[in-house]
Amino acid sequence: MRVAYWPGCVSRGFTPELHGSMAKVAPLLDIELVEMDRAACCGAGVIAEHNQELADTLNARTFALAQQTDGELMMNICSTCQGAQTECQQRLDANDAYRDHVNETLASEGLRYERGLTNKNFLWLLVEEIGLAALQAKVTRPLSNLRVGPFYGCYIVRPMDQLGIDDDHPRHRYLQWVIEALGGTVVDYAGVYKCCGFPIITMNREASLRQAGRHLGDALDADADCLVTPCPLCHLNLDLQQPLAEKVIGRELGMPVLHLPQLVGLALGLEPRQLGMSKHVVRPASVIDWSAAVVGARADAQA
Amino acid sequence: MTRSLSGYTLRLRRFDPESGKGPYWQEFKVELEGHRSVLDAILKLRDEVDGSIGIRCSCRQAICGSCGVRINDKPGLACHTHLERAAQAASEGSRVIQVEPMGNMPVIKDLIVDMDAVHWKKIRRVTPWLINKQPVPEREYIVSHESMVDVTQSMGCIQCGACVSDCLSMEVDPEFIGPAQLAKAYRFVGDPRDARQYERLKDLAEDPHGIYDCTHCWMCIDACPKDVAPMSQIMRLRRLAGSEHQIEDRNNGHRHEHAFTENIARNGLLHEADLLSDSYGGKLSPRAVPVLLGSLPVILRALMRRKITLGHALLHPYRRRYKDLRQLFESIERRERRYELNLYVSGYDGAEPAQAAGNGPAMVATGTSGVGAGQAPREEGEDI
C-alpha cells in the first residue's frame, strides 16, 4: 500500500535510526512511503500550549500536503505526532467555520485541508491495514525467548475517545499483539502506559528522569530483555538519557530500548546494523549478538 | 417485567490499620442486575456479608464525588460504573471486577483514602475563591454569558479525586499541585470578576511544582468522570501565563515554550540541540551551563555511536525547505484576537462528530452551549 509518510522531527534528528529502520522495513511489508518533505513539526503539544490556532494550522498544512499525495492514508512513526495531530484534527473536523478560517491561512501556499483524513501510526497500520496474520507470515527470525516490554507513550493511548480506542479498535493492546506475532514474549510491568517524563525535562529535570528510571527499573524487575516503543521522544528519555536516569534513581539499568520498526525488522530478518541498533546509547547486547543473531533466536534451536 | 440477576465476582483490596496486618485482596460473589453499579454491589456485600467493608459514599448518582475508587486499574466513581461494563473490562477476560482505593493518597481503611492529606490540602493551595475586583458593585456583578462560558468546564468538577489518583506527575513528585487543583485555579483565573489573574498565574508559574510540572500525559483527561479535562485547563493556564502575561518563570516553562515555537518557525523541524540550550536561555546562560555540562557524558556517547553527528548538532540540514514557514507563524501570531476552540463548549457541527483518527465516530459531543460558529475568540487583555 502507498502511504503519505510523515516521519516527524526527532526520527530525522536525535533518533536517526528510527527513520532509517522504517525505510528498511517498509518494502518488506509492501508499504510504499511517499515522504512528505515539506510538512513541519506537529508542535508536540507545546505549540498548542503557546497558541492553539498556530498548532492547528501547522497540522492542517501537514494534512493538506498528505491529501495532495496519492497515498491511501497518512502514516506517522511517532506517538507524540499521532496524539498532537489527532487533537488538532478533532478541532478542525468538528467545526466547519474554524476549518475555513484555518484554510484561509493555508491558501497563500495553495493548500487546503478537507475534513476526514485518516492518519495512523505505524503500529495501528501494522494491525489494522497489514494484519497480524500477514505480519506473522513474513517473520523469518522469530523473536523466540526474547522478553519484550511494551512502552506506548502517552499520546498514543490517551485520551481513548479522541484516539478512537474502543472495543472494535483496542489500540492499547496492539503493541502486545505485535510482539507476540513476531514470536516474542510480552513482559507486563507497571510502566507500559505511563509517561517517560520527557515533556518536563527542561522544567523539572529530576522528576522527568525519575519517571524514565522508574519504568526502566520496573521492566528490569519483570525480567525484560528490552523495551519497544513507537515514540522517539520516549526513546530520548529512556535510551539517550538512561545514564542520567540511573544517577537520579541510584540504580544501574542497562535496559535496551528498541524502536518499533527495529523490532519488526529484526523478526523480518534484517541485520541489527542495518536497523541502526549500533547507534543506541544503551547497547542492545541483551537483544542481539553482534555476530548478528537475535539472542532469543539463538537460544531457540528450532526457530 | 423482571430483570435477570447475574453473578459477579468482586476482588476488593482490604486494609484495616487496627489489625496490624498489611493490605490484602479478598474475593466476594454477588448477584445483581448488570445495570446496577459497582457501588450497589459493594453496599450489598457490606449489608449482607461483611459489615466491616469500608467505602465512602453519599449521593449514589455521580454528583457528590464521594465514592472515587480504582476499578480494574482505572480511577472512577463506583456509583457511575455498571457491573456488566466493569466485568467486560476486567483483565484477560476474567470478568473479576477489581476494586481498590485511589492512588497518590494514603489509605485510611479498605477503599477509603485520606482526601484531606492530599487533595483538599492542595485545593486550598490555589486560593479557591473569588477575589473581587474593586469597587464591589452595590448589587451583583454583571458579566456577559460569553465571558463565563470559558470556565464552565472547570466548574463541572465534583472533587472526587479520580484525576489526582492516577496523576503521573504526582507519582514521582508528590508536591505537584495536582490536576483537579489546577483546574480549580483556572476556574478563577478565567473568571472575569476576579481581580488577581496575574498574581495567580505568576504564583502557579513560579512554583516548581506548579503548572510547568505537569507532564502532559492525558491521564487526568481519561480519569475524569465529568469531562473537566484538567490537563486542558493547565494548558490554558500556561497559555495565559506565557503568551498573554509574558511571565518569565524560574522553571523555564515559558522559555521552553517560546524556544520551541521559535525553533520550529526557524527550522520547520525541531532542532533538538538548540532547543535544550535555548530552553535554559541560550548556550552561555548561567542556567544552561550546568545542565549542558551534566549532559556531556550522554552527548559524547551519542556522538561516538554516530547517533548524532557534529554537523547535525550545529547546523540543521532541513532548514532551507522551510524558509516560508515563518510567514505563517507571524500571520497567526499578529492577530489581534487569539482563537481558541473548546469542543466541550462549542460541540460538533452536525449530529455526528468527524472520524476520530480514521475509524469512524468515537467521540461524544458534550457541548452545552454553542458560541456563534463554535469559536470562542478571546480578546487580548479583555476587561469586563
| CB atoms B272 and A13 under 8 Å | yes
Check whether residue A140 and residue A286 sit in a common domain.
yes
Domain count, chain A: 2
Nearest CA in chain A to B296: A244
**What's the pLDDT at B77?**
98
Cis peptide preceding A199, ω within 30 of 0: no
Check whether residue A251 and residue A175 sit in a common domain.
yes
Check whether residue A91 and residue A147 sit in a common domain.
no
Q: Say if residue A176's pLDDT is above 80.
A: yes
**What's the pLDDT at A295?**
52
Tens digit of each residue's pLDDT (9 = 90 or more) over B105-118:
999 999 999 999 99
Q: Say if residue B369's pLDDT is above 70.
A: no
**What's the pLDDT at B3?**
66
Q: Which three cell numbers stand for residue A106?
A: 493555508
Q: Could you please state the CATH topology (level 3) that the domain comprising B6-113 is classified under.
A: Ubiquitin-like (UB roll) (3.10.20)
Q: Which three cell numbers stand for residue B91?
A: 483483565
The boundaries of every CATH 1.10.1060.10 domain in chain B are 116-250
**What's the pLDDT at B149?**
87
Q: Say if residue B53's pLDDT is above 90.
A: yes
| Closest approach of A244 to chain B, Cα-based (Å) | 8
| CB atoms B373 and A95 under 8 Å | yes
CATH number of the domain at A151, please.
Answer: 3.40.50.11810
A65 pLDDT tier (thresholds 50, 70, 90): very high
A294 pLDDT tier (thresholds 50, 70, 90): low
Most B-contacting residue of A37, A122, A200 (CB-CB within 10 A), to test interface = A200
**What's the pLDDT at B370?**
31
| CB atoms B354 and A208 under 8 Å | no
Please tell me what DSSP assigns to residue A238. Answer: I
ipTM here = 0.93
Nearest CA in chain A to B354: A93
| CB atoms A52 and B340 under 8 Å | yes
SS3 label, residue B306: coil
Check whether residue A175 and residue A275 sit in a common domain.
yes
Check whether residue A267 and residue A162 sit in a common domain.
yes
Check whether residue A73 and residue A92 sit in a common domain.
yes
| CB atoms B272 and A95 under 8 Å | no
Residue ranges making up the domain that contains A107: 2-122
Check whether residue A80 and residue A136 sit in a common domain.
no
| CB atoms A166 and B257 under 8 Å | no
Check whether residue A148 and residue A287 sit in a common domain.
yes
A81 Cβ under 8 Å from any chain B Cβ: no
**What's the pLDDT at A204?**
96
Check whether residue A90 and residue A151 sit in a common domain.
no
**What's the pLDDT at A146?**
92
Report the residue from B297, B302, B362 with minimal CB separation from A161.
B362
CATH number of the domain at A32, please.
Answer: 1.20.1050.140
The boundaries of every CATH 3.10.20.30 domain in chain B are 6-113
Report yes or no on A139 lying in a domain: yes
Average pLDDT estimate for B225-235 = 97
Question: Looking at A70, A90, A122, which one is the last position of a domain?
Answer: A122
Check whether residue A113 and residue A228 sit in a common domain.
no
CB proximity list for B271: less than 8 A, separation 6 or greater: A13, B263, B316, B319
CATH 3.40.50.2300 is held by the domain B116-250: no
Check whether residue A111 and residue A189 sit in a common domain.
no
**What's the pLDDT at A293?**
52
Tens digit of each residue's pLDDT (9 = 90 or more) over A77-90:
999 999 999 999 99
Cα dist from B6 to B30, B32, B74, whole Å: 8, 6, 23
Average pLDDT estimate for A165-183 = 96
Most A-contacting residue of B272, B307, B327 (CB-CB within 10 A), to test interface = B307
Question: Looking at A75, A95, A122, which one is the last position of a domain?
Answer: A122
Helix segments in chain B, DSSP class H: 38-48, 83-88, 121-125, 145-155, 162-165, 168-172, 179-189, 197-206, 219-223, 230-239, 253-267, 272-279, 288-304, 310-314, 325-333, 343-346
**What's the pLDDT at B318?**
83
Tens digit of each residue's pLDDT (9 = 90 or more) over B309-358:
888 877 887 888 898 899 999 999 999 888 889 898 888 887 454 444 44
Check whether residue A137 and residue A215 sit in a common domain.
yes
Tens digit of each residue's pLDDT (9 = 90 or more) over A269-290:
999 989 999 999 999 887 776 4
Report yes or no on A210 lying in a domain: yes
Report yes or no on A279 lying in a domain: yes
Report yes or no on A127 lying in a domain: no
| Closest approach of B22 to chain A, Cα-based (Å) | 21
Under a CB-based contact definition with an 8 Å cutoff, are residues A121 and A157 in contact?
Answer: no
Report yes or no on A251 lying in a domain: yes
Under a CB-based contact definition with an 8 Å cutoff, are residues A296 and A266 in contact?
Answer: no
